[in-house]
Chain A
Amino acid sequence: MKIDELKTAWNEIETPAKSAEEIKLMLQENRHPVLKGIRKQVIIELIGWSVFLACYYSMFDGGNKPLWMNVLLVVCVLFPLIHNLMSYGFTKYLIKGDTIRESVNNYLSNVKIYAGVSVISRALFASGLLLFLTYGIKFNEAKYFSLGVIVLLFLVQLGLLVNLWIKRLNKLNAIVTNLN
């Protein structure tokens, strides 16, 4: 297949046709595939963590723990929620420049910050929650083992998250590098 044939084939591609009504629906924020997912996640997390924060004081002996520990737990729970809200605004505006190179470059800088916040907020959340739940516990061998397993699970999850962001950053980095 020569380049001219490639061009002819490209120009002959038959594509589906979207109606004006279908396009109009696409302009609505509540129909956006990613934003819809983030919104759903934020709502579920908000409900879940509100229930947790309403119950933890009695269920997990919040009253027997120092005030700073209770504050720390609330802050650690708020971090991922704020991060999700941040991702909403982040996803909404992708275009950040007058050329593709400039836009991808700027976007990459933002993704780096966002990825850092994502990993830090997840780590803070996990460590804050663990600290709260284990505060005042008298550890024996079995409890240390359980704690070890939980920490390992959190670390694996964190590792997967780091890996995901590395892949995404590499993808954007490759575009920027190839255009320089």
Chain B
Amino acid sequence: MDETQFIGHIQQYQKIIHKICHLYRDSREDREDLFQEITFQLWKAFPSFKNQAKISTWIYRIALNTAVATFRKNKPAIDYVAELPDVHTTYQYNEYDTRHERLFLLLKKLDDSEKMIITLYLEDLSYQQIAEIVGINENYVGVKLNRIKTKIQTLNKSYEN
């Protein structure tokens, strides 16, 4: 497979890479760096890609592996904007923002390995596929997911109260 095809695959699956970056990094700059790091690692690992795996499964594995293995820079998260607003404005949150803000608020409270498993679950992968990507058995995936769901429910209740 050549570079053009590889780029085509990244474009096709970039949504999942963006979501992983959002989950594992807090600032826009860190997310951009992680996106680039994942793309680079996918490209470097590509010669060892075995065709018996689906390309999506392979992308999930490398992307999550890169997200947990890279060390983020020790610097404050600052988002630079081109211009300062003239007047103070209050951003109006709509239902979409609120739900997504809550979603990431909950997911970011999980540890790195839990984030990995819940990401694959939210992406609708079967227990078997999750087990193959992570390297644990299916039963343990079930156990871990139950614990994660309980943890999320508890966190959710604490936010609602």
Given A32-B36, A101-B135, A102-B135, A1:B102 Cβ within 8 A? yes
Q: How many A-B residue pairs have CB under 8 A?
A: 135
Is there contact, CB below 8 Å, between B15 and A99? Answer: no
* Choice from B37, B39, B113 contacting A34 with Cβ under 8 Å: B37
Identify which of A18, A95, A171 contacts B41 (C-beta below 8 A). A95
Q: Are B134 and A3 in contact (CB under 8 A)?
A: no
The count of chain B contact residues (Cβ–Cβ below 8 Å) is 52
The CA-CA distance from A104 to B106 in the complex, in Å, is 25
Q: A6 to B133, Cβ gap below 8 A? A: no
| A100–B133 CB distance below 8 A | yes
Q: Is the CB of B44 within 8 A of A1?
A: no
Query: In the complex, what residue of chain A is closest to B132 when comparing beta carbons?
Result: A99
Specify which chain A residues have a CB less than 8 angstroms from the CB of B14 in the assembled complex: 15, 17-18, 23
Complex Cα distance, B57 from A98, in Å, reads 11
Cβ of A168 < 8 Å from any Cβ of B?
A: yes
Q: Give the complex CA separation of A93 and B39 in angstroms.
A: 12
- Contact assessment for A101 and B136 in the assembled complex, using a CB-CB cutoff below 8 Å: yes
| Contact, CB under 8 Å: A27 / B40 | yes
A55-81 to B contact mask, C-beta < 8 Å, 1/0: 000000000000000000000000000
Known contacts A27-B7, A175-B68; 8 further A-B pairs (Cβ under 8 A): A11-B122, A16-B18, A18-B11, A23-B7, A23-B10, A94-B41, A99-B61, A179-B136
